[in-house]
């Protein structure tokens, strides 16, 4: 079977559906609705029209030669998901899930968010479709991504700061599950990444695969061939699986996912689930997981709220095991340096998440040499991260900015 055709519930030995019985009926309903929708030309046409006229697809590709001088002279091409409406790839998935919500007749959506990009995208789609919307966000993240909290509220969503556990994305997911159990009759859970129980990993990937399909054709047209490497950042892994998917069966295209290494994978402060985790069950799926000997989930760390998650989507776990994709760490410092470099050389401020992929591209370019063509998924723009970057690089005039 083609690697592109895998549809869950399992990817190799990863995935599945480890969930409370109370939620199984809703998940079954969603899986059935999705199965019907993916084969329904009307649904696909409606989604395609939303992409075209609302979120701005196809997104362009941009070659970045001044940046590439720092990558051993390899050609570096960015897929510009940062130019989408709401500023990241998240809108691709959310528009699909919002259409599904309407199909199954539910009037309300809930979602979790880390950096806030998925929350903003969900709040946006909810406004567009006239759905009630509540977003769960770790209290730590509401502080480091205050701008996105304000955006969600402007869009009419209720933002609930989560104060349990590590107060980050993992706990926001727990809280969203808890509420879903209670409100499942009226409410659809719009999951933000290619993780969680079946059908989410396959469904989110399918809504994101447009990234790779567009990019593959665009790079072919620009260069006359396929890229040598495709690079993306990996937290839960939705932007990465989205761009990888079109290339899975192209054996000559190397796929690289860069996980958040935080202070370094040899410290306790990182989010490198594949590099430093081992298989376990969290949030409904079996996958690589940062955990202690007793199976308690460990707290992850990354300067990027969007990558600060101790698990990873099951399809990535499988691709890592079979060697089809390589997953490497990039530290906070490497990502921030890449962020500054892209800003200064090309006039593009990337999201800190995406800067991990850029850091990876710099490293890979030096290894692969000047003949290589490297496609990088620029999954989001850096507006939301300006406060973090400003503090990191000491760019604020004294007293000008309050925490």
- Contacting positions for another protein (CB under 8 A): 16-22, 24-26, 164-165, 170-171, 174, 177-178, 181-182, 184-185, 280-284, 289, 291, 293-297
Instruction: Specify the residue, 143 or 178, whose C-beta has the smaller distance to another protein.
Output: 178
User: Which residues are within 8 A (CB) of 272 and not within 5 positions of it... i.e. 6 or more apart?
Assistant: 259, 260, 261, 262, 265, 290, 327, 329
CB of 283 vs another protein, minimal distance in Å: 7
DSSP 137-177: EEHHHHHHTHHHHHHHHHTT-EEEEE-STTSSHHHHHHHHH
Tell me the chain's radius of gyration from C-alpha atoms: 19
The H or E element containing residue 134 is strand 132-138
379 carries an active-site annotation: yes
CB of 22 vs another protein, minimal distance in Å: 4
CA dist 240 and 258 (Å) reads: 9
Catalytic residue among 81, 112, 175, 346: 112
Q: What crossing angle do the helices spanning 332-346 and 352-368 adopt, rounded to 10°?
A: 90
CB of 96 vs another protein, minimal distance in Å: 24
The H or E element containing residue 62 is strand 61-63
Contact 124, 91 (CB under 8 A): yes
275 carries an active-site annotation: no
b/e map 79-96, b = 16+ CB within 10 Å: bbbbbbbbbbbbbbbbbb
403 carries an active-site annotation: no
Give the Cβ contact number of residue 300 at 10 Å: 27
Contact 92, 51 (CB under 8 A): yes
* 370 exposure class (CB count in 10 Å sphere: 0-12, 13-18, 19+): exposed
DSSP 196-244: SSTTHHHHHHHHHTHHHHHHHHHHHHHHSS--SEEEEEESS-HHHHHHH
CB of 25 vs another protein, minimal distance in Å: 4
CA dist 3 and 108 (Å) reads: 35
Residues in the chain: 403
CB of 15 vs another protein, minimal distance in Å: 11
Task: Report strand pairing: 285-289 vs 229-234.
Answer: unpaired
CB of 292 vs another protein, minimal distance in Å: 8
Instruction: Specify the residue, 53 or 296, whose C-beta has the smaller distance to another protein.
Output: 296
Catalytic residue among 79, 90, 106, 170: 90
Instruction: Specify the residue, 174 or 238, whose C-beta has the smaller distance to another protein.
Output: 174
CB of 170 vs another protein, minimal distance in Å: 7
- Catalytic (active-site) positions: 90, 112, 379
């Amino acid at each position: 079977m083609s690697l592109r055709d895998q549809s869950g519930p399992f990817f190799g030995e990863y995935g599945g559906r480890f969930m409370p019985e109370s939620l199984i009926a809703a998940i079954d309903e969603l899986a059935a609705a999705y199965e019907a929708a993916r084969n329904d030309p009307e649904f696909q046409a409606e989604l395609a029209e939303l992409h075209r006229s609302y979120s701005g697809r196809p997104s362009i590709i941009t070659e970045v030669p001044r940046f590439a001088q720092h990558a051993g002279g390899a050609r570096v091409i960015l897929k510009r998901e940062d130019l989408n409406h709401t500023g990241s790839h998240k809108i691709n998935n959310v528009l699909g899930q919002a259409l599904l919500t309407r199909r199954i007749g539910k009037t309300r959506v809930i979602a979790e968010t880390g950096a806030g990009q998925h929350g903003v995208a969900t709040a946006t789609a909810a406004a567009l479709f006239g759905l009630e919307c509540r977003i769960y966000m770790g209290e730590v993240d509401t502080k480091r991504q205050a701008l996105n909290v304000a955006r969600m509220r402007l869009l009419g969503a209720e933002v609930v700061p989560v104060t349990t556990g590590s107060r980050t994305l993992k706990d926001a997911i727990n809280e969203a599950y808890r509420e879903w159990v209670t409100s499942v009759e009226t409410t659809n859970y719009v999951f933000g990444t290619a993780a969680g129980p079946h059908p989410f990993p396959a469904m989110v990937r399918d809504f994101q695969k447009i990234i790779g399909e567009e990019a593959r054709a665009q790079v072919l047209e620009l260069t006359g061939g396929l890229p040598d490497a495709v690079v993306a950042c990996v937290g839960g892994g939705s932007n990465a699986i989205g761009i990888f998917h079109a290339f899975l069966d192209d054996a000559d295209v190397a796929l690289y996912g860069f996980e958040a290494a935080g202070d370094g994978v040899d410290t306790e402060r990182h989010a490198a689930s594949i590099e430093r985790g081992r298989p376990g069950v969290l949030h409904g799926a079996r996958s690589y997981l940062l955990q202690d000997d007793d199976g308690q989930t460990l707290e992850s760390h990354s300067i990027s709220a969007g990558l600060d998650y101790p698990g990873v989507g099951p399809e990535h776990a499988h691709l890592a095991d079979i060697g089809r994709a390589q997953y490497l760490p990039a530290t906070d410092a490497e990502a921030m340096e890449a962020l500054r470099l892209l800003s200064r050389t090309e006039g593009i401020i990337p999201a800190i998440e995406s800067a991990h992929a850029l850091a990876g591209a710099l490293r890979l370019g030096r290894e692969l040499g000047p003949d290589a063509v490297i496609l990088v998924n620029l999954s989001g723009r850096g507006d939301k991260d300006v406060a973090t970057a400003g503090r990191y690089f000491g760019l604020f005039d004294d007293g000008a900015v309050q925490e």
